[in-house]
């Protein structure tokens, strides 16, 4: 079946600086008043790695039993702090999703509507759009759930 992995956790935000200090330009507050940018400044704030404890660094899987959840919570905490800043707007937690097959671990990919009518793409005449293409186990699971006849030879040892 399709499994989802979330990675590359980050907090995106738009910085709208009004004073030089909003950009970290300090020491000129007595002399300067405003700072202008040519457009919105979009930043991605990356969380500290779960396994990076300052005094020691280890893999995330050693430091956490719920890597996805811990990164989500860490990013939400970062976002909550950023939302308090008057010159920061549109704060959002973001991540990259990848889908993979629980049987073969390859990237999850399925037949499109067009491919399902293309003899060069389908497994047999029972293939329909949405059928996985990575491995026989995924196809067998997909077909079993929908009552579609299995591939000829499915179940035999390869
Ligand atoms: Zn597979």
Determine the distance separating the centroid of ligand 1 and the alpha carbon of 74, expressed in angstroms: 32
Comparison of pLDDT for 55 and 72, the residue scoring more? 72
Determine the distance separating the centroid of ligand 1 and the alpha carbon of 70, expressed in angstroms: 28
The neighbour count for residue 107, using CB atoms within 10 Å, is 10
Query: Taken in order 126, 128, 133, 136, is the CA torsion positive or negative?
Result: negative
Average pLDDT along the chain: 93
Determine the distance separating the centroid of ligand 1 and the alpha carbon of 135, expressed in angstroms: 4
The environment of the single-atom ion ligand 1, i.e. residues with CB closer than 5 A, is 101, 103-104, 134-135, 138
- Look at residues 10, 18, 33, 9 and name the one whose alpha carbon lies nearest to residue 82: 10
pLDDT-based confidence at residue 94 (cuts at 50, 70, 90): very high
The stretch 76-86 carries a mean pLDDT of 97
Query: Residue 71 in contact with residue 9, Cβ under 8 Å?
Result: yes
pLDDT-based confidence at residue 20 (cuts at 50, 70, 90): very high
pLDDT-based confidence at residue 158 (cuts at 50, 70, 90): very low
């Amino acid at each position: 079946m399709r499994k989802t992995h979330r990675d590359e956790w980050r907090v995106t935000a738009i910085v709208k600086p009004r004073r030089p200090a909003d950009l970290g330009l300090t020491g000129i507050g007595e002399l300067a008043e405003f700072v202008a940018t040519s457009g919105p400044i979009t930043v991605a704030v990356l969380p500290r790695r779960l396994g990076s404890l300052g005094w020691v660094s280890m893999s995330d899987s050693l430091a956490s039993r719920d890597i996805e959840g811990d990164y989500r919570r860490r990013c939400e905490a970062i976002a909550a702090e950023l939302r308090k800043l008057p010159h920061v707007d549109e704060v959002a937690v973001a991540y990259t999703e990848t889908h993979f097959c629980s049987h073969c671990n390859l990237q999850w990919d399925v037949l499109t509507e067009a491919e399902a009518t293309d003899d060069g793409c389908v497994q047999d005449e029972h293939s329909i759009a949405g059928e996985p293409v990575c491995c026989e186990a995924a196809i067998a699971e997909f077909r079993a759930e929908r009552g579609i006849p299995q591939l000829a030879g499915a179940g035999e040892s390869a």
